[in-house]
A and B are shown apart, each in its own frame.
Chain A
Amino acid sequence: MLDKLTSALDFQSKALLLRADRQRLIAGNIANADTPGYAARDFNFADALRDATSGTNARGSAGIKDGDNGYVVQSQPSLDGNSVDLDRERAAFADNAVRYEATLRFINAESKTMLSAIQGQ
C-alpha cells in the first residue's frame, strides 16, 4: 500500500541519481582539462536510465561504476594526449545541470500532488 505512494517517485529518483553521476563525471573531466594523457569520459544517459529502470540491471540498483563509462571521441587531438574538449564539457555540464533541476521539479511536483491528495483539501 505504502510502496504505491513512493513508486511514482521511483523513476525520477533513479534519473536524479544518474544525473548526479554524470555531473560528477563531467566535473572530473573539467578538473583534468590540463592533465597530460587524460582521456575524457562520459556515459549515455538514455542507456543508463533504461538499464536502471528495467529489471535486468547491469549497473546495480542505481549509480555508475567505473567500467560503465565510455571514452569521449576527441574532435581536436592534442600533442599531450589529453582528449578533454573544454567547450563541449562546459556545455554538457550546463545541460546536465538544467536537466538535474528539471528532475528535481518533477519530484517536487509529484510529492506536492500526493500531499494534496492525502490532505484532501
Chain B
Amino acid sequence: MSMFSIFGISGSAVSAQSQRLNVVASNLANVDAVAGPDGQAYKARQVVFQTVPYGSAGDAGVRVDAVTENPTAGRRVHEPANPAADAEGYVTHSNVNPVEEMVNMISASRSYQNNIEVMNTAKNLLLKTLQIGQ
C-alpha cells in the first residue's frame, strides 16, 4: 500500500545480492582447490534469481531460486608430484574462472549499492511525510 513496502522489496534484493556475493567468495576461495570432501574437484557455483510478488499491487521482490553448479570439467594439469594426481599424473583443478567471478562480484556489489540507495531515498521521503503539518 504505502511506500513502506519499498524496504521489503529492496531488502529482498539486498539479501539476494549478498548471497550472490557469498557464492562468488566461495568460488574465488576455491579457485585452486583440487579435491573437495567428496573426492571431486570443486565446481563453480552460481545463484539463480527469481521475481517474487510482494504485496498485492504487483510489486516485485526478488529471491534466490537455486544455486546451480557449473557442470563443465575442471582444468587438468600435469603434476605427477602432487599427491592428488591420477594414474597418468594429471591433477583436476576446479573449473572456476577467476575473471568471470571478479566481474560477477563487481556487478553484485553495484546492485547492492543501488538498492541501499533506494532504501535511503525511501527513508528520507517517509521521514518528510511524517512531518506534514509541522
Contacts and interface: CB of A to CB of B under 8 A. Distances in A.
Interface of A: 16, 20-21, 23-25, 27-38, 41, 63-67, 69, 86, 90, 93-94, 97, 100-101, 104, 107-108, 111
A20 B114 CA distance: 19
Contact of B132 (A38, A93, A108): A108
Main secondary structure of the interface of A (DSSP, over half): helix
A36 B114 contact: no
A28 B59 contact: yes
B132 A28 contact: no
B114 A86 contact: yes
A35 B125 contact: no
B12 to A, nearest CB: 6
Nearest to A40: B60
B9 A24 contact: yes
Given A27-B9, A101-B125, A34 B57 contact: no
A113 to B, nearest CB: 12
B59 A63 contact: no
Interface stretch (B32-40, B89-97, B115-123): B115-123
A35 B62 contact: yes
Contact of A63 (B57, B62, B131, B132): B57
Contacts of B131: 108
A90 B5 CA distance: 18
Nearest to B133: A111
B6 A24 contact: yes
Contact of A30 (B5, B20, B118, B125): B118
A65 B58 contact: yes
B38 to A, nearest CB: 29
Interface in B1-42: 1-3, 5-6, 9-10, 12-13, 17, 20
B114 to A, nearest CB: 6
A47 B132 CA distance: 26
Nearest to B129: A104
A93 B122 CA distance: 10
A36 B12 CA distance: 16
Given A108-B132, A111-B133, A28 B61 contact: yes
Contacts of B6: 23-24, 27
Given A25-B58, A31-B62, 12 more contacts: A21-B57, A24-B57, A24-B59, A30-B13, A30-B115, A34-B107, A38-B60, A65-B57, A65-B58, A66-B57, A69-B58, A104-B125
